[in-house]
């Protein structure tokens, strides 16, 4: 067991929980989007911690590739969510 | 560095990261929350560097902190003024949730329980001997993959399906954004200092994107980091108030948007015709095919991210677009 791996994995769990709590409790849609991004970052930290093998050893590249994919998917989902929020506000202004 | 000082560094870094995550969500001022979130993303990039994941660190700095931050800040800027308290849609715009104390505690306990369960499962998994079959299979086959950076080999060769579908997700997201309305109006022309900076910054960013694309074969880098850097050049031009930000018009724009998925699919289908499995490159051609796919993917990713920053279909300067506008006469946006 590696101390570094455990530390980062536990921090990942805490960050994920913070994001989940924010996404469920915030009323502002923009803050919910930020919270979901924080939650994703917690999951990424978990995966990168799992991939870590210790100093000087090559880490497992598969979780790295998964996180890279995740980052790009997260930004596209964020962009779509923001466009939806903008349209929602525009509709409300018309009412 | 010795083990003790590294441990102190890890502790401080993780405390800052968790603290920033908490602070960015605890504030009721959305602008403040977004800026703290950008700082959070940059420290995450440091953490990825610490855990020997430089490819992820580059992507996090460019996409996770950089472009997500730009998208969120632009959205905060567009956010309508808060409505007077007590009006019907008040809770939509204010940061404070109108939920009871009991619900807040229940959600907090639920989140904590989930984190606890996950942590317990992880500790359990860490205490057993790690399965190194997958990393060994990758290092054993790396020579046949056409590249020497294992992350690029996984993304573009061993698990090319994932990346193909990821590009399809990007394309779907941008089509969704298109269907929601026109692009936001541009910004005022920048002052002389920012304008001078832009003249230097944009060529450097384009050069940097080309370098990241090329170097991805054997060192940290690749299509995603390069695409994000290229998109950043467009974002900088847009912020400087330029009307032309490097996006092509009309039909060409559609081709660039679909190039990543299109070239990927064409390569896969051509291999099928040659009697090989879908996306299983012949080792002799793998390097060239990966570079071809990555070049197309970089252009698509850059266009997609830039269109996401515009927030909709750009107002084309072409005559056809003007005719379209007259015909449709969009009521809003």
Q: What is the mean pLDDT of residues A12-41?
A: 94
- What's the pLDDT score for residue A46? 94
* Contacting B residues, span 111-130, partner chain A, CB-CB under 8 Å: 111-112, 114-116, 118-119, 122-123, 125-127, 130
Flag whether pLDDT at B74 surpasses 50: yes
Whether chain A has a CB inside 8 Å of the CB on B333: the answer is: yes
CB contacts, 8 Å: A46 with chain B: 118, 122
- Shortest CB distance from A34 goes to which of B37, B99, B114? B37
Question: Residue B223 pLDDT more than 90?
Answer: yes
Q: What percent of chain A clears pLDDT 70, i.e. is strictly above it? A: 98
- Is A30 in Cβ contact with B173 (below 8 Å)? no
pLDDT > 90 in chain A, percent: 72
Higher local confidence (pLDDT), A18 or A94: A18
Query: Taking CB atoms and an 8 Å cutoff, what residues of chain A touch B63?
Result: 71-72, 75
pLDDT of residue A53: 86
Query: For residues A55 and B41, which has the higher predicted lDDT (pLDDT)?
Result: B41
Query: Residue B245: which residues within 8 A CB-CB, separation 6 or more?
Result: B234, B237, B238, B306
| Topology of the domain comprising A3-94 | Helix Hairpins (1.10.287)
Q: How far is A52 from chain B, CA to nearest CA, in Å? A: 6
Label residue B332 by pLDDT band (50, 70, 90). Answer: very low
Q: Is A40 helix (H, G, I), strand (E, B) or coil?
A: helix
Chain A CB contacts of B30 below 8 Å: 28, 30-31
pLDDT at B249 over 60: yes
- By the CB < 8 Å criterion, does B131 face chain A? no
Q: Which residues of A touch B94 (CB under 8 A)?
A: 27-28
pLDDT at B99 over 90: no
CB-based contact A73 B108, cutoff 8 Å? no
Q: pLDDT at residue B172 above 50?
A: yes
| pLDDT value at B49 more than 90 | yes
Contacts of A79 in chain B (CB under 8 A): 71, 173-174, 177, 305, 308-309
Mean pLDDT (chain B, rounded): 86
- CA-nearest residue to B66 within chain A is A75
B272-329: pLDDT as tens digits: 999 898 888 998 889 999 999 999 999 999 999 999 998 888 876 544 444 454 544 4
Whole-number pLDDT of residue B95: 45
Residue (of A45, A82, A80) closest to A66 by Cα position: A45
Q: How far A7 CA lies from chain B's nearest CA (Å)?
A: 8
Chain segment A39-72, per-residue pLDDT in tens: 999 999 999 999 998 888 889 999 999 999 999 9
pLDDT at residue B333, rounded to an integer: 45
Q: For A18, which residue in chain B has the nearest alpha carbon?
A: B22
CA–CA distance, B261 with B299 (Å, rounded to integer): 11
pLDDT for residue B318: 47
Q: How far apart are CA B236 and CA B221, in angstroms?
A: 21
- Share above pLDDT 70 across residues of chain B, in percent, rounded to a whole number: 88
The full 3-state SS of chain B, as one line of letters, equals CCHHHHHHHHHHHHHHHHHHHHHHHHCCCHHHHHHHHHHHHHHHHHHHHHCCCHHHHHHHHHHHHHHHHHHHHHHHHHCCCCCCCCCCCHHHHCCCCCCCHHHHHHHHHHHHHHHHHHHHHHHHHHHCCCCCHHHHHHHHHHHHCCCCCHHHHHHHHHCHHHHHHHHHHHHHHHHHHHHCCECCCCCCCCCHHHHHHHHHHHHHHHHHHHHHHHHCCCCCCCHHHHHHHHHHHHHHHHHCCCCCCCCCCHHHHHHHHHHHHHHHHHHHHHHHHCCCCCCCCCHHHHHHHHHHHHHHHHHHHHHHHHHHHHCCECCCCCHHHHHHHHHHCCCCC
Q: Is there a contact between B180 and A84 if contact means CB atoms under 8 Å apart? A: yes
Q: Is the ipTM of this complex over 0.90?
A: yes
Task: Categorize the per-residue pLDDT at B80 as very low, low, confident or very high, splitting at 50, 70 and 90.
Answer: low
Q: Please tell me the distance in Å from B278's CA to the nearest CA on chain A.
A: 20
Give the lowest-confidence range in B112-126, B218-232, B236-250: B236-250
Looking at beta carbons, which residues of chain A come within 8 Å of B119? 9-10, 13
| Closest CA relative to residue B72, chosen from B40, B41, B42, B34 | B34
User: Which of A34, A46, A65 lies at the smallest CB-CB distance from B159?
Assistant: A65
Tell me, what's the pLDDT at B91? 45
Residue B242 has pLDDT above 90, yes or no: no
Residue bearing the bigger pLDDT, A46 or B250: A46
**pLDDT for the residue numbered A1:** 60
Report whether pLDDT(B86) > 50. no
Domain boundaries, chain B: 9-77, 149-318
Contacts of A48 in chain B (CB under 8 A): 47-48, 51, 53, 56
The answer to whether residue B90 scores a pLDDT higher than 70 is no
Q: With beta carbons under 8 A apart, name residues in chain A contacting B301.
A: 72
* Per-chain mean pLDDT for chain A: 92
Work out the average pLDDT over B149-170: 92
Of B143, B189, B180, B161, nearest to B286 (Cα)?
A: B143
């Amino acid at each position: 067991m590696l101390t570094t791996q455990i530390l980062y994995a536990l921090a990942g769990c805490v960050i994920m929980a913070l994001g989940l709590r924010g996404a469920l409790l915030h009323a502002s849609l923009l803050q919910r989007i930020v919270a979901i991004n924080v939650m994703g970052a917690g999951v990424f930290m978990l995966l990168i911690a799992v991939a870590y093998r210790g100093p000087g050893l090559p880490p497992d590249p598969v979780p790295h590739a998964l996180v890279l994919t995740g980052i790009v998917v997260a930004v596209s989902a964020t962009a779509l969510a923001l466009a939806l929020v903008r349209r929602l506000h525009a509709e409300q202004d018309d009412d | 560095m010795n083990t003790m000082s590294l441990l102190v560094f890890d502790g401080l870094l993780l405390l800052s990261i968790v603290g920033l995550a908490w602070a960015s969500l605890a504030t009721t001022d959305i602008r403040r929350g977004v800026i703290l979130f950008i700082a959070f993303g940059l420290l995450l990039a440091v953490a990825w560097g610490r855990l020997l994941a430089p490819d992820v660190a580059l992507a996090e700095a460019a996409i996770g902190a950089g472009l997500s931050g730009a998208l969120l800040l632009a959205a905060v800027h567009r956010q309508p003024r808060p409505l007077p308290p007590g009006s019907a849609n008040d809770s939509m715009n204010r940061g404070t949730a109108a939920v009871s104390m009991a619900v807040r505690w229940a959600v907090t306990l639920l989140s904590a329980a989930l984190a606890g369960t996950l942590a317990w499962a992880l500790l359990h998994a860490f205490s057993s001997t790690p399965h190194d079959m997958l990393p060994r299979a990758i290092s054993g086959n790396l020579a046949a993959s056409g590249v020497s950076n294992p992350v690029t080999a996984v993304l573009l060769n061993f698990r090319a399906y994932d990346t193909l579908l990821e590009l399809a997700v990007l394309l779907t997201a941008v089509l969704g954004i298109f269907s929601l309305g026109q692009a936001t109006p541009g910004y005022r022309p920048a002052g002389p200092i920012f304008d001078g900076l832009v003249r230097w910054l944009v060529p450097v960013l384009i050069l940097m994107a080309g370098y990241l694309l090329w170097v991805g074969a054997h060192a940290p880098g690749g299509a995603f980091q390069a695409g994000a850097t290229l998109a950043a050049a467009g974002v900088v031009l847009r912020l400087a108030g330029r009307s032309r930000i490097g996006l092509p018009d009309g039909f060409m724009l559609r081709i660039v948007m679909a190039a990543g998925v299109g070239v990927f699919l064409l390569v896969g289908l051509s291999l099928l015709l040659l009697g090989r499995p879908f996306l299983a490159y012949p080792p002799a051609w793998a390097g060239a095919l990966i570079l071809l796919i990555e070049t197309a993917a970089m252009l698509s990713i850059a266009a997609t991210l830039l269109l996401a920053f515009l927030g909709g279909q750009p107002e084309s300067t072409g005559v056809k677009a003007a005719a379209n506008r007259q015909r449709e006469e969009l009521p809003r946006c």
